């Protein structure tokens, strides 16, 4: 499988020796006080080391596990020589740590591996990102956040790769008002951390824009298990629409608690509120999501697009000799993000500068990059704050089919205009 590259970078297959010579010359120049050491890359052996801080055991593991697969799919593809993303002969080694969505573990593991990698291809979750972001800036290391926290846009070392949580929430409110009218009673459930608060900020901006009052704002703690009081608060407020700034570990029990009390509003969530594992629940439990809605800027698994066909070839090659990996949009999302990370490395390689400052410069040379048609809004890292677009669409899961129906097309949130 070959993912088409831009004309600027096409043609590496005929000039790999010249490119390698340029990199080696840059790496072996006489050191001076302005010369940066190479970290996480071995030009002679054509090996790139990439750090990953994942969550495969914490409260977001239902998202973190499939996400971790996505980067491995692309690495497998490149190491097999099935992609033109990097010149022939280049290989990638992942240095992975499961930090369990825990900020302190993230800092500890970051310190243990940061001197072995050129950049971090993924730092999963808003709490770990919030803890590690100052260290990225201090050490001059790019770390791709698996987070849509809008506060990260102003840090040049945390290149977000999709619309932020506040914009997703604004778009959801636009849809709720369009569906229910100005008198619709709209509430929010949010995780009490940077993810949930960013979503809450967007909802408040959208409510102000539309001239409506939020019926109630219900917070929960990460890892919380009992949602009886929270659901009662929603019901007491008469909320007919509920925005879910949640993780799947809370989404399902909240819907179950509401169903048990006979409370059935229209649910509409930020992208992290969902996991495709919900499609594989028992039939009776799946029915809880028949009136669920999701804001997303991404293609869904199996959507009929050229990019999806390319991705599926890589995914099937990765899983061919492994234990079956169930379909999950978070695997697709990680693959998209890793393409961006390697696009920056490819540009640094072409420029002959594989230092960390060189990687950052290459990243900031990316403008109008649509990840091969996978995103509605092209990415632009040429200025800070980074521009990752704001447009999303609203989908509803078809629980019997395992796919999605579009209920509102891709659009810019009104409060963001």
- Cis before 385? omega within 30: yes
Going by DSSP bridges, is the β-strand pair 41-42/47-54 parallel, antiparallel, or unpaired? antiparallel
Identify the band that residue 126 occupies on the pLDDT scale cut at 50, 70 and 90.
confident
What pLDDT, on the 0 to 100 scale, is given for residue 371?
A: 83
Give the residue among 236, 240, 267, 238 at the shortest CA–CA distance from 254.
267
Q: How far apart are CA 177 and CA 170, in angstroms?
A: 11
On whether the CB atoms of residues 31 and 76 are closer than 8 A, the answer is no
Give the residue among 407, 208, 382, 176 at the shortest CA–CA distance from 296.
407
Mean pLDDT of 114-140: 94
Identify the band that residue 306 occupies on the pLDDT scale cut at 50, 70 and 90.
confident
What pLDDT, on the 0 to 100 scale, is given for residue 59?
A: 87
Cα R_g (the chain), whole angstroms: 22
- DSSP 3-state of 218: strand
Mean pLDDT of 14-27: 42
Please give the domain boundaries of the chain with CATH numbers for all domains: 12-163+303-386 (3.40.50.2300), 167-296+394-416 (3.40.50.2300)
Q: How far apart are CA 18 and CA 400, in angstroms?
A: 54
Mean of per-residue pLDDT scores for the chain:
90
Mean pLDDT of 23-50: 71
Q: How far apart are CA 382 and CA 1, in angstroms?
A: 30
Identify the band that residue 26 occupies on the pLDDT scale cut at 50, 70 and 90.
very low
Q: Mark 247-279 as b/e (b = at least 16 C-beta within 10 Å).
A: bbbbbbbbbebbeeeebebbbbbbbbbbbbbbb
Among 25-34, 65-74, 107-116, 159-168, the range scoring the smallest mean pLDDT is 25-34
What pLDDT, on the 0 to 100 scale, is given for residue 228?
A: 98
What pLDDT, on the 0 to 100 scale, is given for residue 6?
A: 37
How does pLDDT run across 53-66, given as a tens digit for each residue?
999 999 889 899 99
Give the residue among 169, 175, 273 at the shortest CA–CA distance from 217.
169
Q: Which of 15-24, 251-260, 408-417 has the highest mean pLDDT?
A: 251-260
What pLDDT, on the 0 to 100 scale, is given for residue 17?
A: 42
Identify the band that residue 5 occupies on the pLDDT scale cut at 50, 70 and 90.
very low
Contacts 24+ apart (CB under 8 A), 211-215: 211/182, 212/177, 212/182, 212/184, 212/186, 214/186, 214/187, 214/188, 215/185, 215/186, 215/187, 215/239
Of 268 and 388, which is predicted with more confidence?
A: 268
Mean pLDDT of 359-368: 96
Among 7-21, 169-183, 260-274, 380-394, the range scoring the smallest mean pLDDT is 7-21
- DSSP 3-state of 148: coil
Checking if the pLDDT of 300 tops 70, the result is: yes
Among 99-108, 246-255, 304-313, the range scoring the smallest mean pLDDT is 304-313
Q: How far apart are CA 37 and CA 260, in angstroms?
A: 60
User: Which secondary structure element, helix H or strand E, spans residue 98, and what is its range?
Assistant: strand 91-98
Checking if the pLDDT of 10 tops 70, the result is: no
What pLDDT, on the 0 to 100 scale, is given for residue 18?
A: 38
What pLDDT, on the 0 to 100 scale, is given for residue 324?
A: 79
What pLDDT, on the 0 to 100 scale, is given for residue 1?
A: 40
How does pLDDT run across 252-290, given as a tens digit for each residue?
999 999 999 999 999 999 999 999 999 999 999 999 999
What pLDDT, on the 0 to 100 scale, is given for residue 305?
A: 86
Identify the band that residue 372 occupies on the pLDDT scale cut at 50, 70 and 90.
confident
Mean pLDDT of 222-231: 94
Checking if the pLDDT of 220 tops 50, the result is: yes
What pLDDT, on the 0 to 100 scale, is given for residue 36?
A: 74
Identify the band that residue 33 occupies on the pLDDT scale cut at 50, 70 and 90.
very low
* Percentage, residues of the chain above pLDDT 90: 78
What pLDDT, on the 0 to 100 scale, is given for residue 35?
A: 57
Of 324 and 46, which is predicted with more confidence?
A: 46
């Amino acid at each position: 499988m070959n993912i088409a590259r831009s004309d600027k970078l096409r043609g590496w297959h005929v000039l790999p020796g010249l490119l390698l010579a340029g990199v080696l010359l840059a790496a072996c120049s006489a050191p001076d006080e302005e010369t940066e050491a190479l970290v996480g890359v071995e030009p002679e052996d054509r090996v790139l080391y990439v750090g990953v801080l994942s969550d495969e055991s914490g409260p977001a593991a239902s998202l973190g596990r499939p996400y971790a697969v996505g980067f491995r799919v692309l690495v497998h593809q490149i190491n097999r020589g099935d992609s033109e993303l990097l010149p022939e002969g280049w290989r990638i080694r992942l240095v992975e740590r499961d930090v369990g969505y825990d900020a302190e573990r993230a800092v500890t593991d970051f310190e243990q591996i940061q001197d072995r990698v050129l950049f971090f291809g993924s730092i999963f979750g808003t709490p770990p990102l919030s803890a590690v972001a100052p260290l990225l800036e201090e050490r001059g290391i790019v770390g791709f956040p698996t987070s849509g926290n809008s506060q990260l846009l102003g840090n040049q070392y945390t290149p977000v790769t999709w619309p932020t949580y506040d914009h997703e929430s604004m778009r959801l409110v636009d849809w709720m008002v369009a569906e229910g009218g100005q008198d619709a009673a709209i509430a929010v459930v949010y995780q009490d951390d940077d993810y949930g608060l960013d979503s809450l900020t967007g909802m408040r901006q959208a409510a102000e824009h539309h001239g409506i009052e939020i019926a109630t704002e219900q917070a929960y703690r990460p890892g919380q298990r009992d949602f009886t009081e929270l659901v009662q608060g929603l019901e007491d407020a008469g909320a007919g629409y509920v925005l879910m700034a949640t993780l799947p570990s809370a989404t399902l029990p909240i819907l179950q608690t509401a169903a048990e009390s006979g409370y059935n509003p229209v649910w509409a969530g930020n992208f992290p509120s969902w996991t495709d594992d919900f499609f594989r629940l028992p039939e009776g439990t799946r029915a809880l999501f028949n009136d669920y809605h999701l804001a997303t800027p991404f293609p869904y698994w199996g959507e009929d697009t050229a990019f999806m066909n390319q991705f599926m070839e890589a995914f099937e090659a990765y899983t061919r000799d492994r234990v079956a990996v169930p379909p999950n949009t978070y695997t697709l999302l990680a693959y998209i993000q890793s393409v961006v990370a390697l696009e920056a490395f490819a540009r640094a390689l072409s420029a002959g500068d594989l230092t960390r400052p060189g990687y950052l410069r290459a990243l900031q040379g990316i403008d109008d990059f649509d990840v091969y048609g996978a995103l509605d809004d092209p990415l632009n890292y040429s200025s800070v704050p980074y521009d990752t677009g704001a447009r999303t669409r609203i989908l509803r899961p078809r629980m019997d089919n395992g796919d999605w129906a579009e209920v509102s097309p891709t659009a810019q949130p009104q409060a963001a205009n």
